[in-house]
Structure 1
Amino acid sequence: MTPHTEAALASRILGGWTGRIAGNMLGKPVEQGEVWTRARIDLYLRRTAALPLTDYLPEPPGDLETALRPEWRQCVRGRIHGSCRDDDVDYAILGLDLLETHGFGFSTEQVGDLWLLRLPYLQTFTAERAAYRNLARGLKPPLTATYDNPYQEWIGALIRADVYGWTCPGVPRRAASLARRDAVLSHTGNGVYGAMWAAALISAAFTAPTVRHAVDEALAVIPASSRLARTVRRVVSLHDTRMSWEDTLTTVAEETRGMGWIHTVPNAAVLTAGLLYGDGDFTRTITLTVRGGLDTDSNGATAGSVAGVLCGAAGIPDQWKAPLEDTVRSAVFGFDGVRISELAERTMRLVERKA
């Protein structure tokens, strides 16, 4: 790599980390899809004169306060001093630690061992908690994903995929292969495909000329007949017809009705719509994605990661970066209070090591 290429790559990796954390913080107060529907989120924004949304959520009207996540006071504009702890960021950190510890040849069993060593059980949820419990019982992959686990196609594996995209810039199939090796600890089917797709999407964003190109490249790494691929293609086709963002989401929500607000497939639809209609603009991408509802903090985080890679750290507006104070709270042992810039530098060293 030439110095210029190194500097550009480092900026994109820092953009990915910063974007993930900012998008997560934006969506965290309204993370409860059965309560915070798309209509209710926009009602909140209209009542606080925050449409169009261009910054973190404003403080809520009094009658909406009790419906928010309890962490909202650390996630709304004017109150943010560093990032809140959240599993969407913890798993990116854990993935970094995995690659630093075991390298790119890590095994699924080593992913599980690291969870037991570094991640508190009560900071895991749904499929990850089921897999953690199975690990503690002595089960091995792939049984850890299938035994007593009704969450196998939920979004948990997708939110663990970013580090594989960041460390495989422009090589989406390799990123997807790494993400799959991690995902099968806790997920099957569309849950695994979601992780592969997200890793490939982030990897492709390093070299794709447009968001649409990145989306197309990511689709190529998962089975074309899967429900995930069909739903992402559906969003792409509706966007191509120039249907509005609102009508696109309404159409796809009807077609994925009954899957639940944490299932990978409807969340991938919201994320794809945010990326396509955001069209590379960081602010528009993460705000549309969060306004789309469902698992708002997870979707905001992944959208922010993709958009941050596309525009680089310098292209992320200051209102998103400055309140984070280059600081991350984390439940991963040994990482609480780490600098965002340090995480990006360590990720860059992994890329250089692999090269």
Structure 2
Amino acid sequence: MTPVHTELADRVLGGWIGRISGNMLGKPIERGDYWTRERIERYLRQADALPLTDYLPDPPSWVEEFQLRPEWQQCVRGGVHGSCRDDDIDYAILGLHLLETHGFEFSTDQVGELWLLRLPYLQTFTAERAAYRNLVNGLKPPLTATYENSCQEWIGALIRADIFGWTNPGAPRRAAALARRDAVLSHTGNGVYGAMWAAALVAAAFTAGTPRAALDTAFGVIPSSCRLARTVRRVVTLHEAGLGWEETLATAEAETAGLGWIHTVPNSAVLTAGLLYGEGDFTRTIALTVRGGLDTDSNGATAGSVAGVLCGAKAIPSQWRDPLEDRVRSAVFGFDGARISELAARTLELSTLSK
């Protein structure tokens, strides 16, 4: 089952707007070792911003403890005029360019070539920077992912996966296969599984109807015994058992302790909880996901993408959509200042070719 073309266009645009607005919501507090759930809640309470229904407010002027990212003034209420540049959006754009340039039969080598041509080295981080360095030094995949790379299971490949879901609506296995081909440039193990899972989750959202249905479908594209799958299933089970959002996250945090705040597995728990307890409501979904902490901008972006596909662009509340002014900043050569609507239209064209 696939959506009709007009509905598909709205859902693809919803995915782009959702990804960008969710990323912007989480960006000022992107540092999970400092911005714990408790600190985020304290910030929101002192700023009188609970429930969270808009971009983050300015930090309370009388409080000195909160350390936001340097670009926070362009990411808070009243300060958003188009999106800030961020790697979570750069990779969606680069993935679009990859598919437009090489089609759905692209190779992992071609992914690396486009990185070198279009993406500045200093705008890459963790596993991507290690892979970029390895490419420059002449290594080929899969060595680019494994040589002197301590971040192989971190979240970088997952944040690159949405484009493969947007261009394969209702086809989660195909989306996951494309995401895997991209991910192995820089990741292994759960890092690759995270990309496959996220791509399938986005693809399934076009036809699944609910976050839970999309999650159930996405389970099927990764090994059931991998730690990512076990962690996501654990969150689903806790939700089914009637535990509250905070208790579910506390349990997942204890069971993934030691992996670090940028690792794919604990972030998959935060993302899954945001989708389940958000219950399909766009605002509630991205707000809970960002309030869950860890890699807040990446999790907010993926949750926003899934929620945006589920509801469509027209149903995304104006407080998220309008401040973006249909513009996106990007470090990808040739794309800075692109219109979000144009990126979505180009994505839609690819999605019709993927049939």
If the TM-score is normalised by the length of the shorter chain, which range does it land in? over 0.9
TM-score by length of 2: 0.98
Deviations 1:172-219 (A, max 9, x none): 000000000000000000000000000000000000021101001001
CA distance in structure 1 between the partners assigned to 2:176 and 2:46 by the alignment: 42
Corresponding pairs, count: 354
Matched, 1:84 2:84: yes
**Native 8 Å contact 2:153 2:264 kept in 1:** yes
Once residues 77 and 210 of structure 1 are traced to their aligned partners in structure 2, the CA distance between those partners, rounded to angstroms, is 29
AA paired with 2:346? R
Cα distance in 1 between the residues matched to 2:47 and 2:258 = 31
Whether the 8 Å CA contact 2:59–2:66 is kept in 1: the answer is: no
Q: CA deviation at 1:61?
A: 1.8
The one-character-per-residue Cα deviations of 1:36-74 (angstroms, maximum 9, x if unpaired) are 000100100000100000000000023347611111000
- Given that 2:157 and 2:195 are in contact with CA atoms closer than 8 Å, whether structure 1 keeps it comes out as yes
Matched residue type, 2:22: G
Which residue in 1 is equivalent to 2:111? 111
Could you tell me how far apart the structure 2 residues matched to 1:65 and 1:125 are?
A: 27
Structure 1 letter corresponding to 2:92: A
- Listed one character per residue, the Cα deviations across residues 227-264 of structure 1 (whole Å, up to 9, x for unaligned) are 00000000000000110000000001000000000000
Query: Whole-Å Cα distance in 1 between the matches of residues 64 and 76 of structure 2?
Result: 14
2:45 maps to 46
Q: Does 1:228 align with 2:223?
A: no
Aligned to 2:350: 350
Q: What residue is the counterpart of 2:131 in the other structure? A: 131
Partners of 2:60 and 2:145 in 1: CA distance: 42
Question: In 1, Cα distance between the equivalents of 2:39 and 2:260?
Answer: 17
CA distance in 1, matches of 2:65, 2:185: 37
Per-residue displacement from partner, 1:17-47 (whole Å, max 9, x unpaired)? 0000000000000000010000100100000
1:16 aligns with 2:15: yes
Report the equivalent of 2:71.
71
Instruction: Look up the SS of the partner of 2:207 in the other structure.
Output: coil
Partner of 1:121 in structure 2? 121
Q: What is the identity percentage for the equivalent residue pairs of Structure 1 and Structure 2?
A: 76
Give the counterpart letter for 1:28 in structure 2. Answer: K
CA distance, structure 1, for counterparts of residue 267 and residue 48 of structure 2:
27
Amino acid at match of 2:21: A
Q: How does 1:1-355 map to 2 (within 5 A)?
A: 5-62=4-61, 63-64=63-64, 67-355=67-355
Gaps of at least 5 residues in structure 1 are none
TM-score by length of 1: 0.98
Report deviation, 1:352: 1.8
Paired letter, 1:322 = D
Q: Which runs of 4+ in 1 moved over 4 A?
A: none
* Comparing 64-73 and 210-219, the one that deviates more: 64-73
Q: CA deviation at 1:354?
A: 2.3
Instruction: Supply the AA of the counterpart residue of 1:319.
Output: Q
Question: For the aligned residues, what is the CA RMSD?
Answer: 1.2
2:151 and 2:113 mapped to 1: Cα distance?
21
| Aligned amino acid, residue 43 of structure 2 | Y
Q: Which ranges in structure 2 are unaligned for 5 or more consecutive residues?
A: none
In structure 2, C-alpha distance between the alignment counterparts of 1:106 and 1:64, rounded to whole Å: 49
Question: What is the identity, as a one-letter code, of the residue corresponding to 1:90?
Answer: D
- What is the alpha-carbon distance in structure 1 between the residues aligned to residue 51 and residue 293 of structure 2? 16
The SS at the match of 1:168 is coil
Which residue identity is paired with 1:40? R
After superposition, give the CA deviation of every residue in 1:284-327 in whole Å (9 maximum; x if it has no partner).
Answer: 00000000000000000000000000000001000000000000
Q: 1:177 to 1:64 in 2, by over 3 A?
A: farther
Q: Are the aligned partners of 2:43 and 2:66 in contact in 1 as well (CA < 8 Å)?
A: no
SS at match of 1:67: coil
